[in-house]
Chain A
Amino acid sequence: MEPALSYAAYAAAIWLFLIGLYGVVKSRHLVNLCLSLTVVQSSTYVLLTIIGYRPGLPAPIFTDGLKPGSAAVDPIVQALMLTDVVVEATVVALLLAITIKVHRDAGTADPDKVDMMRG
């Protein structure tokens, strides 16, 4: 693979991470903040995929003629990723539930205006 292209995936991961973080910092609405956080999260998927990638090798599924034990891409990072995709969805649901609660109690969903610590 071209050297430039092999760096592209890393660039994509860091770009997703930073643009998501930028969204979190700039956010003026809690729903926007939660979704920005999922963008940050998705950068880890790209990073894990690219770390486990080995040029030209197949997926670690030993059916359809792939000899068991023959070389394949890294199954560990894939396992980390697939559990995380599902778990992350529920964590985002929890964050959105908190958002609803905050909006109901504080009357606003702007993170700068929410002042929950008033005595």
Chain B
Amino acid sequence: MRRSWRMLLFFAGAAGIVCLFTLAAEPISQPRDVRNRYATAIISETFSQRNITDAVSAVNFDFRGFDTVGEEFILFVSVLGSLVLLRMVEDRKGKVLRDALEPWRDVGPSDAIRLWILAMIAPKVTFGIYIVTHGQLTPGGGFQGGVILATAALILYLGEGFTVFRDVISHPATEIVEGAGALGFVVIGMLAWVWGQPFLTNVLPLGKAHELTSGGTMALISISTGLEVAAGFILLLYAFLQENLSPVEET
């Protein structure tokens, strides 16, 4: 298709979208009790039925848990697809590979920066675990905490370069954790079958409100999601950083 025709098509479509959207939009100050019935139900039942204080996590890991399984597998398949596509190509096998940023690294981070980055890793991991495990109490949960955990690996690369990053991120282990995280969600969901309940029913004791153990299966699902997200992002980092490597001539 010619580019001018494509632009014409775009502007026609854009005009249509703007028209329909303008008709559909309404001021947010209007009361919308009818459309918000579902939200109102979630807000009033989260605490009384599940003993937890974060309604967003309740939607994610319990009330709408089945959808989250789907989302998690989108993540899983995306990571898998990226890894398959970025497999080391044949002509680079058996050659000495060097980080393309390595020459820059020779004059790169000073010892002070490297020390600071290493010192930051433990607090980052702790903070990530905190966010993953407190999803049912305060804003947080597996998705957010998992990303924070993955950044701990990223700053390791920033400070120490690819070789150290690769040595620390033991590849098979990370893959196993990623798969286990995705599987864990489904296994926790199937746990309900033991009690003769539908998939993903919250069958575990709900615990005491405002405590770490509240929420039954939600805490476990949050942790398994966190593991999967963290490991998935680390695998992606590994795959893309590996693309940065280029074969060097033997000297």
Contact = CB atoms under 8 A, between A and B. Distances in A.
Interface residues of A, number: 51
Contacts of B79: 90, 93-94
B229 A86 contact: yes
B43 A71 contact: yes
Contacts of A101: 85-86
Contacts of A85: 143
Interface stretch (B52-60, B195-203, B215-223): B52-60
Interface in B68-119: 68, 71, 74-75, 78-79, 81-82, 85-86, 89
A81 B139 CA distance: 13
A27 to B, nearest CB: 11
Nearest to A91: B78
Contact of A83 (B40, B71, B240): B71
Contact of A21 (B10, B42, B60): B10
A41 to B, nearest CB: 13
B43 A60 contact: yes
Identify whether the interface residues of B are mostly helix, strand, loop, or mixed: helix
Interface string B127-148: 0000000000111010110110
A18 B86 CA distance: 32
**Most chain A CB within a 10 A radius of its CB, from B14, B141, B144, B210:** B14
A22 B10 contact: yes
Interface in A7-49: 7, 9-10, 14, 17-18, 21-22, 25-26
A116 interface: no
Contacts of A87: 71, 74-75, 78
B174 to A, nearest CB: 15
A114 interface: no
A96 B232 CA distance: 16
Contact of A69 (B43, B85, B139, B209): B43
B138 A10 contact: no
Interface string A77-107: 0110011111101110110111011001000
B17 A6 contact: no
Contact of B56 (A3, A14, A60): A60
30 contacts: A1-B28, A6-B27, A10-B25, A14-B17, A17-B17, A26-B7, A53-B28, A54-B28, A54-B36, A63-B138, A69-B43, A69-B46, A70-B43, A72-B43, A74-B36, A75-B46, A79-B59, A83-B68, A84-B71, A85-B143, A86-B147, A87-B71, A90-B232, A90-B236, A91-B78, A93-B79, A94-B81, A97-B85, A98-B85, A112-B3
